[in-house]
Chains A and B, each alone.
Chain A
């Protein structure tokens, strides 16, 4: 049995009824899911809440219902020469799922791609939400304007909450114009440690680098370090020259015009179809290469670096706990693809210190007192462990 409400009022009714019966719900966007622990609950599909409700290119703002397919939004924006700044990924290649990613799912997991280091995360572009909390009450926060500090910022709180604080029904974003020209400065053959330093040099140069990644293998015959520049024609030429000069100590650089490998990096297609667990680890960029070396020693099959070295996507045997390699390094590791058994063994989300865990549990108890919204997705229910 599953439910497909047609509008926000329907969602509220469904949640209210579920809360009254104490029956958990499993919130579904495009179902390209796979992140988080499995939820035993009645599926609540958001596909009925679809469509852009407001798009003002002159104000760089878009509002849409949470079930709207991401592809539909991206097409509408492209027609006006605009885009979502944070470059959300498409998880289908990696997870092998075949639904269509939705805006709600993207926000619920705070999905941000390579441009995150320059343009911020999904939550930074999110300016307003409407959601239904665990009692079936409709709540709005933020709005459709870019600057808004009216009251507490629940927008960021529900972004990345994986549906555990509320069912998103409508989301609003600020947008950016697309770039006229995209080019990638490529350094070949660097070891991760040197690549890390090269990316730091690039990020510390005044050229507004919008992507800094390193793939030891898979994107070329050998390791490649990619630095993306975007902007007007002349600006990109100027920056290519400046960046190449700044990176001279790392050997000759090539320039690739156009979108290059960024979509592949964003969607982690390198690990598509390859067996094993996939981890996503966020650390201070300069800790990345050293952590990568530790992960390799601990048995990781492959590590790809994004976010100037601060984001490691790791492919490893399901039996291995990659988190264990992080001792003494601050940051967090999320197990983004694995069997339920491996998820239960390692835990999907990084353990939090007690006072933080207590605050988070307190918030969940307030927003979802009956525990009906994706229970166990972020913090596994005892029965599932």
Chain B
């Protein structure tokens, strides 16, 4: 993967720049020792690493604003960072950049159950947002598998989703407002506890903008009352195709489960070995979860099981206790970790129209075979967001490149059948050079223009999201 040449002028001025940052934000942690900035050299896409010039960890919005103004005046690029769990290289530094991390800004600013919102600093982790309101019987709905570690900052950056977004939507549908610092240090307040924008919906374009438009320091998030109960059911099928068809039929039947998760045999095996969740030994597994009172759960499950029966499931198993439910989800949420025990892997994230599931799974199998690699599939089937995990051996020369090529082919396939390159992980550097597959030059140009308005000098999160040639002229200007 190509990255732009670092700016030698900036690197030469490192000492002066660091001194200026310390002066601008006396209470911030400014890290510049080479052995210490290494901790920030990559995110969860560990194949790519680059230590930054320096790292700044401010403690307030005002401090972020002063740091941004200083960087802007010095012409230094800034890479925003939450918890660094991006799987797309979204927070990968460059040699000539300052990493601006919000991890020290993790306070809860306001909890308001009457109006159903919480306001937090964005360094707060996803799970601890729910943690802050759980005692009041509320929760924050978007639940990425990385929720223990990832921050609201990165969730907003990537517009992250989770297993339960079939019913509750993704981050953008649960984000009411932000405080954001622009590259020149201007602080803007957008949205709040009220609904909808008075004018243009800037919040809509900020969410999922991968750190291209500003540093989000505070967020107002929708919280919801916890349902009375929830229960997952496991359904095992003899083939991926049949399981895929069952998903479409459940949706057509007018039931909307909170989650429909899909795993194929290689993934089931790995998760079972790792988490001992009691998964059956089948070709394809669906985890379908419904919510409500006992009676409501029974009513929905009855309809779902009636649909499933038509597809002759090999196994149907309802969870009978909270412990069993937790275990079923533990298995699913540890899928990536479990695969990591077996091999190195690349995690893809394309979305396809639900109806294309059987066809796409078959094609992925064929492609994988032609590359001589192995793939495990785990994904959010209700919304067509796939996560094929391509297994490879990092110690084998050329294997990573081969896996990346297979990944590109699979993502091209997703676009070809009417889907997209990324459903929730974002573009980052990983899918940057594939953007031309999904977008025409004009489509990208429209996106570049939004960036022009928020960050006219293109200093924020350089060389991400857009193919390098598309942004070349702007970055150089």
Contact = CB atoms under 8 A, between A and B. Distances in A.
A binds B: yes
Contacts of A160: 196-197, 200-201
B225 A150 contact: no
Given A149-B158, A176-B256, A355-B186, A157 B421 contact: no
Given A58-B249, A140-B443, A204-B113, A177 B201 contact: no
A177 B300 CA distance: 14
B461 interface: no
A81 B193 CA distance: 33
B65 to A, nearest CB: 12
Contacts of A286: 112, 114-115
A157 B199 contact: no
B383 A146 contact: yes
Chain A, interface size category, equals 35 or more
Contacts of A56: 353-355
A378 B226 contact: no
A206 interface: yes
Contacts of A157: 200-202, 204-205, 450
B122 interface: no
B438 interface: yes
Nearest to A161: B200
A349 B208 contact: no
A264 interface: no
A151 B447 contact: yes
B296 A231 contact: yes
Best-surrounded residue of B158, B193, B446 (most CB of chain A within 10 A) = B446
A360 interface: yes
Contact of A147 (B228, B254, B424): B424
Contacts of A112: 196
A374 to B, nearest CB: 13
A188 to B, nearest CB: 23
Interface string B259-271: 0000000000000
Nearest to B292: A235
Interface string B182-222: 10001111101111111111111101110010000000000
Given A148-B423, A204-B225, A232-B296, A57 B169 contact: no
Contacts of B453: 359, 362-363, 366
B425 A149 contact: yes
A92 interface: no
A262 interface: no
B30 interface: no
B426 interface: yes
A116 interface: yes
A153 B172 CA distance: 10
Given A144-B418, A153-B208, A366 B449 contact: yes
A363 B450 contact: yes
B173 interface: yes
Contacts of A110: 196, 201
Given A153-B172, A282-B195, A143 B419 contact: yes
A239 to B, nearest CB: 8
Given A147-B384, A234-B296, A152 B425 contact: no
A124 B204 CA distance: 9
Given A150-B421, A200-B114, A359-B453, A144 B353 contact: yes
Contacts of A334: 198
Nearest to A165: B200
Given A282-B194, A284-B115, A149 B299 contact: no
Contact of B208 (A133, A149, A165, A178): A149
Given A147-B424, A154-B447, A330-B192, A206 B295 contact: no
Contacts of B447: 141, 151-152, 154
Interface in B395-432: 418-427, 431
A145 interface: yes
A60 B137 CA distance: 31
A124 B169 contact: yes
B351 interface: yes
A156 B201 CA distance: 6
A235 B295 contact: yes
A98 B338 CA distance: 61
Interface in B344-367: 351-355
Interface of B: 112-116, 137-138, 158-159, 161, 165, 169-170, 172-173, 182, 186-190, 192-205, 207-209, 212, 225-228, 248-249, 251-252, 254-256, 292-293, 295-296, 299-300, 303, 351-355, 380, 383-385, 418-427, 431, 435, 438-440, 442-447, 449-454, 465-466
18 contacts: A56-B353, A59-B251, A59-B384, A120-B173, A137-B442, A147-B423, A147-B424, A151-B427, A152-B450, A157-B200, A161-B201, A164-B200, A204-B138, A231-B296, A235-B295, A286-B112, A332-B196, A378-B199
Interface of A: 56-61, 81, 110, 112, 116-117, 120-121, 123-124, 133, 137-141, 143-157, 159-161, 164-165, 176-178, 180, 200, 203-206, 208, 231-235, 238, 242, 282-286, 307, 310-311, 330-332, 334, 349-350, 352-353, 355-357, 359-360, 362-364, 366-367, 378
Given A310-B194, A330-B193, A367-B449, 16 more contacts: A56-B353, A60-B354, A120-B169, A120-B173, A147-B170, A147-B423, A149-B170, A149-B424, A151-B447, A152-B208, A160-B196, A238-B295, A282-B196, A286-B112, A349-B199, A366-B449
